[in-house]
Chains A and B, each alone.
Chain A
Amino acid sequence: MKQKIKENGLSLAFLVMFLLTLAGQAIAGTALFNDQQLVNGGEPVSLLKYVTSSDFAVDVAENWQSEYLQFFLFITMTIWLVQKGSPESKKPEEAGTGSDEEQLVGPYARPDSPAWAKVGGIRLSLYSNSLGLVMGLVFVLSWLAQSVAGVASYNSERLLDLRDPVSWGTYVTSPEFWNRSLQNWQSELLAVLSMVALSIYLRQRGSPESKPVGAPHAWTGVEG
């Protein structure tokens, strides 16, 4: 048991932090919502009612979609684009999807390779791109969830302001939807840019996200 926890410590730590922060967001969000209810002449709502509301759903989904977009772009763009000196990048001469031999697929698969890496056709093609596909799919679904929850939350606000509600089509072309989306995208893209660029010159001893402390700045794709 202890060994299992140690072997999965990174996932477990992030899972616990994720659940705690989501709970924190729910509690803070309920308090903020109820504060706004006082202004609007409404009644305070329970934590359960808030976490099943479109207000909570849109706030959660808009952050999720941007995170999955970030990883989708990072995973797929680093196939072809390189950054000299960055441990997040491949060496310039390695750009591309790699040979079957390098990728250990088909006839080059090892006995302990995943089953779909040993076969050809659509299964190998799907499995070869499964990480990017899943990240991309979760991004699209989260963004869709943001739009559906967003139009509900936005229309509730519009009715409070004595304005007509809008359709989903109008909402997804509205400044409200794009402001929510773009403010998240810009921060995610800045975070990736910072990671790629700062890791050329800065080090974090012991982290696989960094080059070894003594590695020259020009070394690329070396993780320590």
Chain B
Amino acid sequence: MLLAVLSTALIAGCAVDATAPARTAERFHAALAAHQEDAACALLSQQTAEKLPDPGQTCADALRELKLGAAGPITSARVWGDDAQVRLAGDTVFLHRYSGGWRVTAASCRPRGDRPYDCGVEN
């Protein structure tokens, strides 16, 4: 029983593949760089996509206004459970795993020491 708990913990905590969230983060920034804001919006989590626009704006309008642009290559990707953090040369992106795959919950994030990142796009 104890070994089962330990194995579960190890599986849940460590043996995870960071490729999928890294690819989503890459596609998100590639869409922004190509000015395909609608495609980028489709990669946002529902909560983030809903919160992002001001009244009268679409999600794509809001992303366009933020001028996020290209973020460069991926430098690291870390996954814990259903959450991930992908660092690119020019941005840090947070993602959550849904039944339909990984979605961006926060982007355009700047570190603030041990306080939460300050993100231009967040839920």
Contacts and interface: CB of A to CB of B under 8 A. Distances in A.
A90 B111 CA distance: 60
Contact of A64 (B2, B10, B47): B2
A162 B5 contact: no
A181 interface: no
Contacts of B12: 52-54, 57, 149, 152
Interface stretch (B24-32, B56-64, B114-122): B114-122
Most buried by A among B13, B45, B84, B111: B13
B84 A54 contact: no
Interface residues of A, number: 34
Given A41-B123, A162-B117, A165-B78, A54 B83 contact: no
Nearest to B11: A52
Contacts of A61: 5, 9
Interface of A: 40-43, 52-58, 60-61, 64, 138, 141-142, 144-145, 148-149, 151-153, 155-156, 158-165
20 contacts: A41-B47, A41-B96, A41-B105, A41-B123, A43-B98, A54-B81, A55-B81, A57-B5, A60-B5, A61-B5, A138-B2, A148-B10, A149-B12, A149-B13, A152-B81, A156-B80, A156-B83, A159-B83, A159-B84, A160-B83
